[in-house]
């Protein structure tokens, strides 16, 4: 994790070294962009640095021709509606709302200000856009999953790694979008093919992690699979601690979970998504309408294994699976 001081220092250095062509490019106008996220600034600082660097490379420099109105919900989804209303009242030129819940809150607040999402689950099913190819409104951006079928792939990898016959599935019903229903259907279909018995459990907040893990123990779960959720991502270190405590090998969706101590992850690279989000911001600020920018799905997925965690759990990962890994943490 990059410290707050390092983050600010890096931005300051970037301002000094940024290309002067940006001033001429935008003819002196300062654009105001709103940024509203359900996570905390501290947890997202490395990604914010990547996002701002990508914008700088495109000629957009915060404090020179770009002013960012930052809003952080710190995991409190109920704050998003207020943030969206504030940004709409400020009449910002664009709103970056990374997650589905933040993008939906922004869309409810304005149908005219362009909105860019970065890690939406299924923007069509969630009601953010009409279609991926033709968003049809003021919302566009990137998705974090290609389709709900990816959860079946994660279950297959988890089964191969652990031989588990009973797998707990943890999801957050507080953000119960249509995408989750599709994912639940897919993981159940995959479980039938793989001969795995599922135990579906809920956690609306970190205070419900302990009861959920206690239920997994009572249900004699051999492993755990989590669904994509920003609350899980925000509290990934706590999840890793509980996984180790209860000796539950776990499959997540993003590399940050593995870096925090979880066993495995299979999914896209968040850093790449935030770099590409800057391209959407650039195009829209230069006049392209969101309706004319197709939603982009990830095409590359990283499979990560934490061998240190595997050893702690007394788990031997099959060599064939290690060969398939894009990164092994030891």
Residue-wise pLDDT tens digits, 126-159: 899 999 999 999 999 999 887 778 999 999 999 9
Bridge partners for 168 per DSSP: 199, 224
Say how many C-beta atoms besides its own lie within 10 A of residue 163's C-beta: 11
Query: Which among 187, 259, 192, 279 is positioned nearest to 226, based on CA atoms?
Result: 187
In sequence order, what are the beta bridge partners of 302?
A: 267
Sequence ranges of the domains in the chain: 18-144+269-292, 150-267+301-329
When the pLDDT of each residue in the chain is averaged and rounded to a whole number, the result is 91
Q: CATH fold of 18-144+269-292, please?
A: Rossmann fold (3.40.50)
pLDDT, one tens digit per residue, over 239-253 is 999 999 999 999 999
**3-state SS, residue 286:** coil
Are 52 and 62 within 8 A, CB to CB? yes
Q: Which CATH superfamily is domain 150-267+301-329 in?
A: Response regulator (3.40.50.2300)
| 271-293: average pLDDT | 97
pLDDT for position 126: 84
Dist. CA 244–CA 47, nearest whole Å: 27
Strand extents, DSSP E, the chain:
31-37, 66-72, 94-96, 115-120, 139-143, 166-171, 197-202, 223-226, 250-252, 264-267, 302-306, 327-329
Instruction: Give pLDDT tens digits for 24-79.
Output: 444 589 999 999 999 999 999 999 999 999 999 999 999 999 999 999 999 999 99
Q: Do 18-144+269-292 and 150-267+301-329 have matching folds?
A: yes
pLDDT at 176: 59
Query: Looking at residues 113-133, what average pLDDT do you find?
Result: 93
CB 312 within 8 A of CB 89: no
Is residue 34 within 8 Å of 71, Cβ to Cβ?
Answer: yes
């Amino acid at each position: 994790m990059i410290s707050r001081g390092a983050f600010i220092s890096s931005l300051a250095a970037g301002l000094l070294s940024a290309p002067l062509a940006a001033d001429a490019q935008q003819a002196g106008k300062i654009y105001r962009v709103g940024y509203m996220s359900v996570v905390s600034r501290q947890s997202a600082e490395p990604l914010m640095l990547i996002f701002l660097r990508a914008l700088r490379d495109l000629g957009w420099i915060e404090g020179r021709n770009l002013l960012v109105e930052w809003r952080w919900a710190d995991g409190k989804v109920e704050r998003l509606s207020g943030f969206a209303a504030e940004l709409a009242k400020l009449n910002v030129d664009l709103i970056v709302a990374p997650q589905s819940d933040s993008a939906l809150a922004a869309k409810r607040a304005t149908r005219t200000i362009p909105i860019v999402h970065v890690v939406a689950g299924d923007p069509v099913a969630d009601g953010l856009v009409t279609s991926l190819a033709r968003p049809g409104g003021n919302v566009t951006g990137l998705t974090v999953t290609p389709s709900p079928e990816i959860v079946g792939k994660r279950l297959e990898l988890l089964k191969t790694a652990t031989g588990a016959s009973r797998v707990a599935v943890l999801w957050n019903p507080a953000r119960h979008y249509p995408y989750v229903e599709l994912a639940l259907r897919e993981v159940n279909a995959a479980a039938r093919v793989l001969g795995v018995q599922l135990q579906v459990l809920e956690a609306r907040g970190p205070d419900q992690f302990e009861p959920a893990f206690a239920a997994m123990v009572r249900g004699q779960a051999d492993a755990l699979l989590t669904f994509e959720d920003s609350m899980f991502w925000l509290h990934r270190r706590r999840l890793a601690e509980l996984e180790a405590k209860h000796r539950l090998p776990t499959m997540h969706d993003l590399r940050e979970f593995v870096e925090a101590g979880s066993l495995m992850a299979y999914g896209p690279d968040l850093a790449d998504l935030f770099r590409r989000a800057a391209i959407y911001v650039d195009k829209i600020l230069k006049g392209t309408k969101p309706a004319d920018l197709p939603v982009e799905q990830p095409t590359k997925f990283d499979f990560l294994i934490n061998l240190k965690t595997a050893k702690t759990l007394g788990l031997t990962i099959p060599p064939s699976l290690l060969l398939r890994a894009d990164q092994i943490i030891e």
